[in-house]
């Protein structure tokens, strides 16, 4: 089968009184996806934290759960009244879930992982689909270290793999450790490359997953403001188009009940993407949520046969024109140069000041010039554009000079001073104008 319907869930963060209540809330999203014949369902980053409140039985946590229940649209008049009183009491007591969550992760992380895998493995089996479960702070199955994990379950309920977030936010750092790598997770609908949160902002991550054979990128994220959301969305589109893969982006929304800044709600517009050549409006978007604060389930079809045909006929053949060996050499050269720049500047400063310079060891990274780096593409242009009065001027072969050398102090008169935004062509243009004025 070459065509699969995928579903992307935009889920609101809530505080549930029991695990059964939380499980039923997840089940209603899966029923909606199943009605659309979805074979892959994607939940957002940190949505699995909603497992934690039912496991906390202290008085402060109970107040917060009652307050959240009273804020729901479906709450009865009595629940709204109790919720209002509980919210006032929680404010007086300065209650929050962060302390309880940290304690649970410290003493019962193994039990939390067991409940997580049981619930979402059973749901994947019940609905017979591949499930990218909502992420949470969980012990890594490889070493037991707490990480921001997103797990993938197959239609038979087995754990296909888990991806840890590598680029942590300040809030993540208070509860978990970063992951160390990215790996493709193989499923019935294809090879999935999972990127959690800010990992999507780094081009190397998408290229690494592409070289490992990924056919679709799964982005799960949370965003506390519009600017951050826009960056994550742009990153998902860029990684998708850079590597000519399918992509889906799922956001958690609602009050940031587990965050340090609870007055900043989580926002986002979940979406399902495809390379621009495979989308109706050539913008890379198959379907996208209309608002940043509503729950919903999006579905769209991924045509893997069409994707492979695009790889063959596209003018940009990422897998042929820039293979893994070329990319490795190029990125290694660039990164070595960038890492060596501070050391090189320090040595130059020491030479100018007459200080002693330590002898470089044999294993120091070689410093390369830009001319030594592999060339992928180059662009030249004439600047500034010729005005209408100079259309008959002969073309030149000069390229743009972005900076100019420093002038000797003796020649730095007002008519000779050059600034960094000037170019040789600008000087030539000024000389031509002076010649025309003298002739007139």
Q: What is the pLDDT of residue 158?
A: 97
Picking from 41, 25, 44, 38, the residue whose alpha carbon sits closest to that of residue 270 is 44
Q: What is the pLDDT of residue 12?
A: 94
* Percentage of the chain exceeding pLDDT 90: 53
Q: What is the pLDDT of residue 6?
A: 98
Name the 3-class secondary structure at 146: strand
- Average pLDDT value for residue range 393-407: 39
- Average pLDDT value for residue range 241-267: 88
pLDDT band at 159 (very low <50, low <70, confident <90, very high): very high
Lowest mean pLDDT among 41-50, 262-271, 281-290: 262-271
- Whole-number Å distance between alpha carbons of 254 and 272: 21
- Whole-number Å distance between alpha carbons of 201 and 182: 14
Q: What is the pLDDT of residue 92?
A: 59
Q: What is the pLDDT of residues 21-72, one digit of tens each?
A: 999 999 999 999 999 999 999 999 999 999 998 887 665 666 666 677 677 7
Q: Which of 98-112, 220-234, 332-346, 371-385 has the highest mean pLDDT?
A: 220-234
Over the chain, what is the mean pLDDT?
Answer: 79
What are the start and end residues of each CATH 3.60.110.10 domain in the chain? 3-315
- Whole-number Å distance between alpha carbons of 314 and 307: 10
Q: What is the pLDDT of residue 100?
A: 80
pLDDT band at 264 (very low <50, low <70, confident <90, very high): confident
Picking from 234, 226, 101, 236, the residue whose alpha carbon sits closest to that of residue 171 is 101
Task: Say whether pLDDT at 429 is over 70.
Answer: no
- Average pLDDT value for residue range 132-161: 96
What 8-state DSSP symbol labels residue 254? B
Q: What is the pLDDT of residue 380?
A: 45
- Whole-number Å distance between alpha carbons of 193 and 163: 9
pLDDT band at 120 (very low <50, low <70, confident <90, very high): very high
Q: What is the pLDDT of residue 422?
A: 38
pLDDT band at 408 (very low <50, low <70, confident <90, very high): very low
The CATH code of domain 3-315 reads 3.60.110.10
Task: Say whether pLDDT at 333 is over 60.
Answer: yes
């Amino acid at each position: 089968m070459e065509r699969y319907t995928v579903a992307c869930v935009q889920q609101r963060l809530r505080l549930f009184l029991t695990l059964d209540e939380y499980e039923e809330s997840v089940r209603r999203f899966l029923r909606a996806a199943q009605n659309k014949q979805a074979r892959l369902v994607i939940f957002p980053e940190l949505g699995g934290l909603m497992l934690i409140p039912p496991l906390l039985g202290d008085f402060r946590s109970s107040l917060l759960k009652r307050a959240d229940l009273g804020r729901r649209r479906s709450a009865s008049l009595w629940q709204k009244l109790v919720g209002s009183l509980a919210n006032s009491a929680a404010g007086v007591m300065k209650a929050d879930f962060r302390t309880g969550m940290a304690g649970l992760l410290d003493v019962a992380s193994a039990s939390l992982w067991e409940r997580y895998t049981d619930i979402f493995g059973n749901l994947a089996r019940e609905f017979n689909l591949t499930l990218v479960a909502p992420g949470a702070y969980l012990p890594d199955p490889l070493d037991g270290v707490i990480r921001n994990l997103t797990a993938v379950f197959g239609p038979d309920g087995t754990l296909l793999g888990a991806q840890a977030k590598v680029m942590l936010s300040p809030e993540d750092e208070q509860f978990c450790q970063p992951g160390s790598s990215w790996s493709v997770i193989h499923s019935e609908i294809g090879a999935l490359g999972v990127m959690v949160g800010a990992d999507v902002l780094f081009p190397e991550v998408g290229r690494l997953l592409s070289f490992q054979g990924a056919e679709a990128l799964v982005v799960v994220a949370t965003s506390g403001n519009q600017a951050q959301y826009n960056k994550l969305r742009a990153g998902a589109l860029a990684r998708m188009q850079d590597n000519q893969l399918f992509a889906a982006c799922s956001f958690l929304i609602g009050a940031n009940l587990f965050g340090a800044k609870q007055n900043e709600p989580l926002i986002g517009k979940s979406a399902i993407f495809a390379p621009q050549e495979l989308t109706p409006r050539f913008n890379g978007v198959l379907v996208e949520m209309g608002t940043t604060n509503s729950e919903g389930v999006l579905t769209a079809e991924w045509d893997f046969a069409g994707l492979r045909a695009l790889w063959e006929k596209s003018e940009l053949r990422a897998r042929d024109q820039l293979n893994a060996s070329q990319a490795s050499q190029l990125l290694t050269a660039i990164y070595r140069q960038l890492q060596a720049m501070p050391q090189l500047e320090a040595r130059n400063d020491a030479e100018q000041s007459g200080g002693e310079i330590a002898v470089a060891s044999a294993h120091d990274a070689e410093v390369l010039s830009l001319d030594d780096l592999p060339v992928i593409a180059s662009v030249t242009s004439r600047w500034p554009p010729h005005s209408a009065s100079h259309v008959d001027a002969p073309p030149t072969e000069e390229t743009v000079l972005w900076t100019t050398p420093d002038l000797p102090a003796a020649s730095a008169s007002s008519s000779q001073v050059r600034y960094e935004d000037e170019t040789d062509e600008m000087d030539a243009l000024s000389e031509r104008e002076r010649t025309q004025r003298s002739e007139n």
